[in-house]
Amino acid sequence: MTQRFVIALIKHETNTFSPIPTPLEKFGHGQGPAFGRAARDAFEGSATPMAAFIDIAKREGAEIITPVAAESWPSAACTRATFEQLVRPLEDAVRQGCDAVFLDLHGAMVVDDCLDAEGEILRRLRRIHATVPIAVTFDYHTNLSPETVQCATVITGYKTYPHVDMYQAGQLAGEILVNAMKGRVKPVMKWGWLPIVPSIMRHAPEDGPAGAILIVARAAEQRGDVLAATLLPAFAHADTPFTGVSVVVVGDAMKPNGEANAAQVCDAMLRIAHDGKVGFSYQRTVLAESVARAKVLGDAGAKPGDVGPVLLIDHCDNCGSGGTQDVMMVVEEILRQGLDDVAIAPIRDPDAVRKMIAAGIGNNVTLQLGGNTAMPSIGLNGRPLAISGKVRTITDGEIVFRGPMYTGLKSHLGPTAVLEVSGTRGRTEIVVTSLHHEPFDLVIFRHCGIEPTKKRFIMLKSRIHYRAGFKPIARHIVDCQGEGVTSADLSAYRYRHVKADLLIA
Ligand SMILES: [Zn+2]
């Protein structure tokens, strides 16, 4: 008899300090969630766990049921009503009977009345079907709860930041589950949680202790000691009791020592995180000094053979972690210090886009750009920047990722316009979008006629994911500490639920 596989995606990285609301239509990256066949069509063939699950189900000849696919870029907690509209179709699909469930979840989702959305999703599915095998993939930025581990059969997560191995994480979890269903393996999970909250600026394998931990994880998987070993170094901007570094290892209880091996690998990974925790702390920097340094690097010109722009990373207002993406502090400093030939992306300001569209291409406009959003959780008000320039380009903001992250997936910036500001050596171009979008793919510039490799400077509202598309073209990279709800300086936040030590420099 044909097996029925339920495959679903419900993903939100909730920044509980973000002032940006998360209504239902924000899922689907601004197009609303997809249900049924549309959920499958939106993700099949993309570099995501959901696509890996679909590929495995197709190979197994299973009937594929995709009740929901809903991902929103990070922002504040969604409401209970929104959450129910995402979870109930999944519950209905499982209730109608299935042989396995494959879930592409984030791991840092908060609902206005629930600090552990993933735990709730799994608990509700377990209530419907106590024994159905459930595979789950999590983002690297996961705050893992005991209930989540208890209710899942297999958990894996990404081992990269930028996350360029999402498909592989899905493949790993999916294959383990299918092998378990065939009686070839018997997954057993060992996990642990450390009461430490790293700065996300210190999460990438090349920046902090995660690199050494991931070497242990990959080696254990390759040797076959364990089926999967995953580091989840927390999402610091979600204020929950589960926020902290965790490790989850899937062993094979069918093998002699399979369970003991899993426990050993889990302990080894946690020990490196614990002993190296100082490496998860972020050292504060002074904005004016960072921009001045970038200016020197850019103005010095390239050595023979050196090409590409100097990147200025406005990491404290990163929409990829819940930032408002309209804090103008770093842009203002760039203009104040007279950097020119700069491409900036993206500033979110739908009103400014409307004004630029009304003015029309080639015409001059004076704008109060950005600064539309108050950030009460960190005591900041929005501060727009008075700026004049020419409308260079107008687009519908429809993009497809061609870089290594989310390859092949469509996304939406909303109506978008480019403001061109004259400089002494070259123009500065600011990409202004209507929707939030982290710039991790060169398409953010190229879709509106800007060639990023040709600019002297590029300013990005991003934290680490920009490295997926932009690190290969960069001559130098300078982190610029401005303001915003994704500040690397965790002392900026007033936590209420966290039970772990915040790693503050
Ligand atoms: Zn992440």
- Between the CA of 320 and the centroid of ligand 1 the distance, in Å, is 8
Please, is 15 exposed, middle or buried when counting C-beta atoms within 10 Å of its C-beta (0-12, 13-18, 19+)? buried
- Domains in the chain, CATH or no CATH each: 4-280 (3.40.50.2300), 287-487 (no CATH)
CA–centroid distance, 139 to ligand 1, in Å, is: 5
Q: How far is the CA of 323 from the centre of ligand 1 (A)?
A: 14
C-alpha of residue 160 to centroid of ligand 1, in Å? 9
Whether the CB-CB separation of 425 and 435 falls below 8 Å is answered with no
Between 134 and 319, the more confident residue is 134
Distance 165 CA to ligand 1 centre (A): 11
- pLDDT of 1 reads 85
Percent of the chain with pLDDT over 70: 98
305 — pLDDT class (breaks 50, 70, 90): low
Distance from Cα 69 to the centre of ligand 1, integer Å: 18
Question: In this model, does residue 302 exceed pLDDT 70?
Answer: no
Alpha carbon of 138 to ligand 1 centroid (Å): 9
User: What spacing in Å lies between the alpha carbon of 183 and ligand 1's midpoint?
Assistant: 33
Q: How far is the CA of 13 from the centre of ligand 1 (A)?
A: 8
C-alpha of residue 389 to centroid of ligand 1, in Å: 35
Contact 104, 8 (CB under 8 A): yes
- CA 201, 204, 208, 209 dihedral sign is positive
* Percentage, residues of the chain above pLDDT 90: 90
Work out the pLDDT band at 283, boundaries 50, 70, 90: confident
pLDDT tens digits, 11-65: 999 999 999 999 999 999 778 999 999 999 999 999 999 999 999 999 999 999 9
Answer for the pair 413, 437: CB distance below 8 angstroms, yes or no: yes
Q: Alpha helices of 337-396 — where are they, by DSSP H?
A: 350-359
Q: Give the pLDDT of residue 447.
A: 97
Which strands form 187-194's sheet, in the order they lie side by side?
187-194, 245-252, 228-232
C-alpha of residue 182 to centroid of ligand 1, in Å? 32
Give the span between the Cα atoms of 446 and 458, in whole angstroms.
13
Average pLDDT over all residues of the chain: 95
Instruction: Give residue 300's pLDDT.
Output: 79
Q: Give pLDDT tens digits for 208-266.
A: 999 999 999 999 999 999 999 999 999 999 999 999 999 999 999 999 999 999 999 99
**Phi, psi for residue 200 in degrees, rounded to 5:** -65, -25
Q: How far is the CA of 163 from the centre of ligand 1 (A)?
A: 7
Q: Separation of 161 CA from ligand 1 center, angstroms?
A: 7
Separation of 164 CA from ligand 1 center, angstroms?
A: 10
Given a cut of 70, is residue 191 above it in pLDDT?
yes
For the stretch 468-484, pLDDT in tens is 999 999 999 999 999 99
Residue 29's pLDDT is 79
Please give the average per-residue pLDDT across 104-130, as a whole number: 98
DSSP 434: S
Measured in Å, residue 340 CA sits from the centre of ligand 1 at: 32
Query: pLDDT confidence of 307, banded at 50, 70, 90?
Result: confident
pLDDT of 505 > 60? The answer is: no
- Per-residue pLDDT band for 504 (boundaries 50, 70, 90) equals low
pLDDT digits (tens, 9 = 90+) for 388-435: 999 999 999 999 999 999 998 899 999 999 999 987 777 899 999 999
**How far, in Å, is the centroid of ligand 1 from the Cα of 141?**
5
Of 364 and 409, the one with more pLDDT: 364
How far apart CA 49 and CA 142 sit, in angstroms, is 15
User: In the structure, what pLDDT confidence band is assigned to residue 303 with cuts at 50, 70 and 90?
Assistant: low
pLDDT of residue 150: 98
pLDDT digits (tens, 9 = 90+) for 89-113: 999 999 999 999 999 999 999 999 9
pLDDT band at 152 (very low <50, low <70, confident <90, very high): very high
- Spatial CA neighbour of 234 closest among 105, 150, 145: 145
Say how many Å lie between the CA of residue 210 and the centre of ligand 1.
Answer: 14
pLDDT of residue 306: 65
Residue 135 tokens read as 């595979």
> How many angstroms separate the CA atoms of 93 and 67, rounded?
6
Task: Give the per-residue pLDDT at 497.
Answer: 95
pLDDT reading at 495 higher than 90: yes
CA of 142 to the centre of ligand 1 (A): 8
Distance between Cα 254 and ligand 1 center (Å): 33
Using alpha carbons, select from 36, 136, 24 the residue that is nearest to residue 92. 36
**Per-residue pLDDT tens digits for 323-333:** 999 999 999 99
- Give the E-state strand segments of 282-330 in sequence order: 310-314
Residue 301: pLDDT over 70: no
Residue 72 has what pLDDT?
95
Mean of the pLDDT values across residues 62-79?
A: 97
Q: How many CA atoms lie within 13 A of 212 on its CB side?
A: 14
